[in-house]
A and B are shown apart, each in its own frame.
Chain A
């Protein structure tokens, strides 16, 4: 039974959600909303497991006095500080105006968000610029025909999108200017490749979903 019940649940849920796609009638019409609500709630329960896993590993590091134990302490302190700030600020006056939330400007939670969370997150995103440069230095080489095509199409699009490209090719008729070539590459061959990939992905999703629903693919439900 331990094995069969999850498989039955998977199958029934799968079929129900395929059907809701075709049936506008109640209750099928509400399935998608119900799923997203339930999913959010299950996620809110599950994050307790996640947070406990993070805390457990950090505490383990501290108790073992392993190499980086003060770093683990930093994680715990930061986690608790923003959780406490958010818990105190919370929601107030849910049904009356003005309702305040922990995310309002001026709260401690917001201060942490603006001055700690945001700069960290946007800097991590920004160092992508460095990696983009080193990846192009290494990867854009005419090693074989495929790599050469990659190089050329990237090169055209790159140079066609900066003013330099137009200075270089400004003397040519409009149809032969670099920016025009770049737009053409984006509009046509690029679309073709994207389409092939997308159609493939769609059919792959269909066959994977069927394997899941029929219980052929079930490694995540055993153990």
Chain B
């Protein structure tokens, strides 16, 4: 009979969660208390371990789960310092006069969304608020869909909805095109040659926003969201090196180190790398969104992992001590 308790608890928990007030956000004081409690719990684990009680995997799992989940409900801002890379990216965007045409290349897929989607949303919101005309395209098949999701989300903001933005006039989605870096190369001569129709099958010539957009020389800035190949490296090597257009990028944490050399040689105009880059980008554009929650979760979880490694080694030391004392 006892094993059915788990089921009752689980179902009751789900019902409670559904009945809770929404959105569920706790005050900064409670948030700080929760953080301190989490820290104290780790100290307890450390003391237990030092006394020789090794903790089980489930406790580790619990800590990871808590550290990732709790920040979602917390109402506090990590003090985030905007790094020079992100500042450069933001400055380049801030310099664009309203009506500038920005090409947004979405080169990622859903698994990278936690890191890149917040950047996409912040970018779209910023662009729409400052009347930048956005031309979307993707070298990854699922990129343009991710773009549409970001647009749908930012269009719900009251300030942006009031602007009555029109598809085809204020923004356009050209869709995905296969061919990797060759797509960028061909776009250097002709956009319409590479994208004869947009994602909704409208002819390139019939879209007002694209009137007079022949190649990169009609584009004021390229913003590239990239999770690998093809991505930022290809954009820099072709669009920047050959056609001299300015490219700024948002990258996943895994991908970012490989584009740092371009940043130091000033070929790349700014970079938001990984979750922390996304959070900084949100700070810079003042479009606070998911990344500021995510970065809290991620930092918490990283700290927990590091804490566990330290605890594990502390335990090792103690056991060495003990065995030495026994030996002596």
* Chain A residues in the interface with B (C-beta under 8 A): 122, 125, 129-130, 132-134, 136-138, 140-143, 151, 155, 158-159, 161-164, 183, 186
Contacts and interface: CB of A to CB of B under 8 A. Distances in A.
A155 B309 contact: yes
Most B CB contacts (10 A, CB to CB) among A137, A140, A159 go to A137
25 contacts: A129-B64, A129-B301, A133-B60, A133-B63, A133-B64, A133-B301, A134-B57, A136-B305, A136-B309, A137-B309, A137-B311, A138-B312, A140-B309, A140-B312, A141-B312, A142-B313, A151-B313, A155-B306, A158-B302, A162-B298, A162-B302, A163-B276, A164-B303, A183-B260, A186-B257
B111 A161 contact: no
A164 B295 CA distance: 11
B308 interface: yes
A107 to B, nearest CB: 17
B4 interface: no
A151 B310 CA distance: 10
Contact of B299 (A141, A142, A162): A162
Q: A interface, by DSSP: helix, strand, loop or mixed?
A: helix
By Cβ-Cβ distance, the 8 closest A-B pairs, closest first, are A137-B308, A134-B57, A134-B60, A130-B61, A140-B309, A133-B64, A141-B316, A162-B302
Interface centre among B63, B78, B308 (most CB of A within 10 A): B308
Contact of A158 (B111, B276, B306, B312): B306
A161 B308 contact: no
Nearest to A167: B81
A38 to B, nearest CB: 24
Contacts of A133: 60-61, 63-64, 301, 304-305, 308
Given A133-B64, A155-B309, A161-B253, A122 B57 contact: no
B316 A134 contact: no
A129 B300 CA distance: 13
Among B60, B276, B298, residue most surrounded by chain A Cβ atoms (within 10 Å): B60
B14 interface: no
Contacts of B36: none
B12 interface: no
Interface in B77-124: 78, 80-81, 110-111
Given A130-B64, A137-B60, A158 B313 contact: no
